[in-house]
């Protein structure tokens, strides 16, 4: 990719949002890295965040408990990038325990003014302290487009959370509102590409999230309302209904 430093920083912000995930308010966390990174041929970022509930595609990965997250990212001027995110979950019963690890790597290229295409692979692994029925993992390949306000991606997993092949499509938005506030929106569709284990047809699942964020010094505070459904067997009962989350992020 032929890219100047400012474009590389924007790419880093998007990729960190991808590894953290829109339902983790990843766009907020990535914005901190964008603001803290100095212009340079290669970009390295690190940030920590605390959220009241770790939501992913309308499902609570943390079983409704608060989560601490450390996210790292690297963006090369050649277009290659990598990111990693680790989480800890806290509860009254178990104390503070490891929750999950997510790794992301890929390549991005500017296709026109204000439009970037990228593709890569994500691997995520969760512990037995997650909201899943057991410690599970998945690997997805993806391709997408990013504009100044809107971005979209399509993901494919050959074996999602220990089951069959799946596809997931998402549309995300980040819109400045003035007075330091930013609106973030997310809509996604999850499609199993195999016969559902409890029926003869695949079970399509939808999820959405609407949020606001605002910086305060080095911190960014955010709140979001999201939901998803219908329920799916391997997501347990935490995969349906609405949820409000709160969090704060800080660059290191």
**2 exposure class (CB count in 10 Å sphere: 0-12, 13-18, 19+):** exposed
| pLDDT for 198 | 52
Task: Find the mean pLDDT for residues 61-72.
Answer: 92
| pLDDT for 200 | 41
Residue 71 pLDDT exceeds 50: yes
Q: Spell 98-123 as b/e; 16+ CB within 10 A means b.
A: ebbebbbbbebebeeeeebebebebe
CA dihedral 88, 130, 54, 186 (to 10 degrees): 140
Residue 39 pLDDT exceeds 70: no
Greater confidence (224 vs 133) lies with 224
pLDDT in tens, 108-153: 999 988 899 999 999 999 998 887 767 789 999 999 999 999 999 9
Task: Find the mean pLDDT for residues 150-179.
Answer: 93
Kindly report the CATH number that applies to the domain delimited by 5-251.
Answer: 2.40.160.40
Residue 83 pLDDT exceeds 90: yes
| pLDDT for 35 | 41
Task: Find the mean pLDDT for residues 54-78.
Answer: 91
Lowest mean pLDDT among 33-37, 49-53, 179-183: 33-37
Task: Find the mean pLDDT for residues 199-207.
Answer: 69
Q: Which of 229, 228, 225, 215 is nearest to 246 (CA)?
A: 225
Who contacts 196 (Cβ-Cβ below 8 Å, separation ≥6)? 202, 203
Q: Helix, strand, or coil here: 235? A: helix
| pLDDT for 52 | 96
CB count in 10 Å sphere of residue 208 = 16
Task: Find the mean pLDDT for residues 81-96.
Answer: 90
Question: How do the domains of the chain map onto residue ranges?
Answer: 5-251
| pLDDT for 233 | 57
| pLDDT for 59 | 85
What's the N-to-C CA distance of the chain in angstroms? Answer: 28
């Amino acid at each position: 990719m032929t890219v100047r430093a400012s474009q590389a920083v924007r790419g880093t912000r998007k990729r960190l949002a991808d590894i953290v995930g829109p339902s983790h308010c990843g766009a907020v966390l990535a914005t901190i890295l964008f603001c803290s990174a100095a212009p340079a041929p290669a970009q390295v970022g690190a940030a920590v965040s605390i959220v009241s509930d770790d939501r992913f595609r309308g499902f609570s990965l943390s079983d409704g408990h608060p989560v601490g997250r450390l996210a790292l990212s690297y963006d090369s001027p050649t277009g290659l990038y990598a990111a990693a995110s680790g989480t800890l979950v806290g509860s009254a019963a178990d104390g503070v325990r490891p929750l999950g690890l997510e790794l992301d790597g890929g390549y991005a290229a500017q296709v026109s003014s204000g439009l970037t295409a990228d593709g890569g692979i994500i691997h995520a692994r969760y512990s037995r302290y997650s909201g899943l029925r057991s410690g599970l993992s998945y690997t997805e390949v993806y391709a997408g487009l990013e504009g100044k306000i809107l971005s979209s991606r399509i993901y494919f997993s050959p074996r999602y959370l220990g089951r069959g092949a799946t596809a997931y499509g998402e549309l995300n938005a980040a819109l400045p509102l003035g007075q330091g506030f930013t609106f973030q929106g997310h809509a996604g569709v999850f499609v199993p590409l195999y016969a559902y284990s409890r029926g003869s047809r695949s079970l399509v699942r939808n999820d959405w999230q609407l949020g606001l964020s605002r910086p305060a010094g080095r911190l960014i505070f955010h709140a979001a309302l999201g939901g998803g459904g219908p329920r799916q067997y391997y997501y347990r009962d935490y995969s349906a209904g609405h949820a409000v989350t709160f969090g704060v992020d800080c660059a290191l």
